[in-house]
Amino acid sequence: MIDGGPTVTDETTEEPREAAQVRAEVRGWLTEAWDPDLTVRAWWRVLGESGWGFPTWPRDWHGRGLAPEVAGVVRDELRRAGALGPPAGLGQGLAAPTLIAHATEEQKRWWLPPLATGTEAWCQLFSEPGSGSDLASLQTRAVRDGDEWIVNGQKVWTSGARQAVRGMLLARTDVDAPKHRGITYFIIDVDQPGVEIRPLKQMNGAASFNEVFFTDARVPHANMVGEASNGWAVALTTLAYERAGIGGGMMGAATPGEKAGFLDRRAGEVAAGVGGEAEMGSMMAAFTGGSRLLRSAAEAMGATADPVVRQGIARIHALNEATRLTGDRAVAAIRSGGRPGPEGSTGKLAAAVNLHATRDVGMSILGAHGMLVGDDAPLGGEVQNVALSAHAISIAGGTNEVQRNIIGERVLGLPKEPQVDREVPFRELRVGTQRRDG
């Protein structure tokens, strides 16, 4: 990290001197290092080993130790150079910061390098058919068997499971403890007997989510993150980064890893968006710049002079920027050593509201053309895809109702809802289809 002392403004760039120094350094490095003819695999290795791919990570673990507000200039310079950004998946956005906070040094050596260089894709094995909003009621069991744990149960709404080689797994290891205190956090290999993945078809035509079934699957004891039956504390870190990432528009534009199928493509082609997935591309456009997508829609429909349309686009731009900054604030608070705060919930809820607003404005711009899909639709159906996908963000990462409860309790100081089961042993709870014997 560049040591700064007091914040000093650079006269030529009109930004803090530390940020200006980082900008100059990464710009010079990109001039030498970026080569669009490299494969994605080769470029991500160069980027990951340089520390510029994930500059907020510690220097000892493939980062630069930069604060989020300073690291933003790295993203700016990557875009300016037309360079492919770092791998962006659940492994990088959720697992890596969780491992940095909770894993042993040996575990970091195992898992952080392939995440930094994009050779592995990970998934999040948290939600279950009867345990979504009340995640702590999960029923997937892990039983100790020597140096391994045997896992049985079911997960659902698992993004990217078919591309993943590892998963962040929450499993119940103590049915005699209350529901929050009997959960353990594991990193499990997905490619093994006993793990079955079934895709779930969505109304937007995609199958991003999956059901995952565990039948005597195995995970080494060494893959336990944190202490046994104390996984809820580890999971809170993952959930905080998930909400902050959604709120700040930092969703994975690409699923890294060998199974993704583009590690051996030219980095320049991928950076230019050639052959990108339509669903994720339009969703990223809506999250990171919904106003740009709407402006393109207005241009396609000849509506750029309409004052109502212009006001709608301006409102979306303001909302997106406010939400992005809230997400940055949440990540900064967590990284500075504080407990996961309500900023992530605020940003995540705002992202859902904003995406719904983007849907409404976009469809009003298209009018009757909004009923078209595919090549017949304006912009190839990007706005329609956002409209069909917008409902998912109200559920993913914790429902809007859960986020409002968190904000009400932790920000506004409202009384908590009664929790009559919090201190009851899990074995005695009636959860979903759970049997009396636990």
Residues tagged active-site: 242
Task: Kindly write down the DSSP assignment for every residue of 194-206, as one continuous string.
Answer: TEEEEEE--TTS-
* End-to-end CA separation in angstroms for the chain: 50
Instruction: Give the orientation angle of helix 278-300 with respect to helix 307-335, to 10 degrees.
Output: 150
Output DSSP code: residue 151. Answer: E
Bridge partner residues of 125 (DSSP): 169
SS3 336: coil
Decide if 414 contacts 408 (C-beta within 8 A). yes
Cα–Cα distance between 32 and 48 in angstroms, integer?
15
DSSP per-residue codes, 71-113: HHHHHHHHHHHT------SHIIIIIHHHHHHHS-HHHHHHHHH
75: its two tokens: 């993203």
To 5 degrees, how large is the angle CA 276–CA 277–CA 282?
100
Question: Angle between the 231-247 and 307-335 helix axes, to the nearest 10 degrees?
Answer: 150
Judge contact between 388 and 203, C-beta under 8 A: yes
Choose among 67, 39, 31: nearest CA to 335. Answer: 67
Could you give the C-alpha distances from 49 to 11, 73, 95, in angstroms and in order?
A: 32, 19, 18
Which amino acid is it at 37?
Answer: D
In 3D space, the residue among 187, 260, 266 whose CA is nearest the CA of residue 225 turns out to be 187
